Structures are given as structure tokens and as C-alpha cells.
Amino acid sequence: MNARNRTGKIALCGIFCGLAVAVLAMGCLFPAATFCAPAIAGLCAVPVAVEFGIKAGGLVYLVTGALSVFFCPDPEATCIFIFFLGYYPLIKPKLDAIKRKPLRIAAKAGLFQLAVLSCYAVLLLLLPTAQLTEEMKQTGAVLLLGMLALGNVCFWVYDCALVNLFKIYMVQLRPKLFSGR
């Protein structure tokens, strides 16, 4: 790889990292954005992974996660990005390659459950914020389980939406953005 290509690769990775951090930082403006912002920010690594490989996409995820710890005012959105929504678009093609549908569904569901439980364990035990702790105390166990069920539904909608977003990128955006390659 010559110096010009390497410079372009670094610049594109930096642009997508900056965009992802900006999306995460703006996520604190609206209460629902706590979950939407990490989902959108996770998409920023996809073009880099497609153009330069999964390692470059993973690097965008890691740098975005590290920067969001410092620049994102919402620790819940940052943890959701780091624990699941930041890397899921990168590993989705590998999970989709599992041939047996029940095993594929179980792998995705298991990963989501593990990520959500780990994320909130870290948020409540290691980084407790008064607002989140109070919110969890006021919410009953049944309602928390209902929220987890709703989170599962949202995850499956997101998983299906990623398929269409990948197609849109490959068919419509990629030819326009990288026509000179």
C-alpha cells in the first residue's frame, strides 16, 4: 500500500470515528436517543470495514468507544455502544453465515442477552449514576423484564434493518462515494 492510499485510509477512518462520536454525544439531547444514537454510531464502522477490511472497521469501533468515554455525556449510551451496538454491525455477517437457522437465532439472541446484562451490570455496579440507580429502583422487576423483552423486539428489528442498510450502502452509496477506486 502506497503512502497516498494509507493516508486516505487513515483519513476515512478518522472521519467516521468523529462522526460516530458526534452522534453519540448528541444522543443526550433526547431521552430515546440513549438507544438510537449507539445504533446509528455503530453503522459508521461499516463503510470502513467494507472498503478496508474488518480490522479497520474494528479499529473505528475501538477508537470511537474510547473517545466516547471522554466526550459523550451519557454513560448509558456509551456503554450500550461499547457492549453491543458498536461492534454488532461488524460481526453480523459472520453470525448470518451460520447455516442452521435455529443456531443462528440462538447465537444472536444469546449475544444480545449477554451484552445487555453485562452492560447494565457495569453501569449499576461499577459506574453507578444517581439517575440510573434511582430509575432502576423505581421500576419494578416485572417492568424491567418487560423492558428487556421490548429490547429483544427492538434488537430483531435492528437486525433486519441492518440487512437493508447494508444493501443500500453496497448498491447505492458505495458506487457514488468510491467511484474512483
Question: Residue 90: its pLDDT value, please?
Answer: 95
Q: What is the CATH number of domain 3-177?
A: 1.10.1760
| 170 Cα distance to chain centroid | 19
First to last CA, the chain: 14
Over 70: is that where the pLDDT of 133 sits?
A: no
The whole-angstrom separation of Cα 167 and Cα 171 is 6
Other C-beta atoms closer than 10 Å to the C-beta of 42 total 26
Q: What residue ranges do the domains of the chain occupy?
A: 3-177
The predicted structure's pLDDT at residue 123: 79
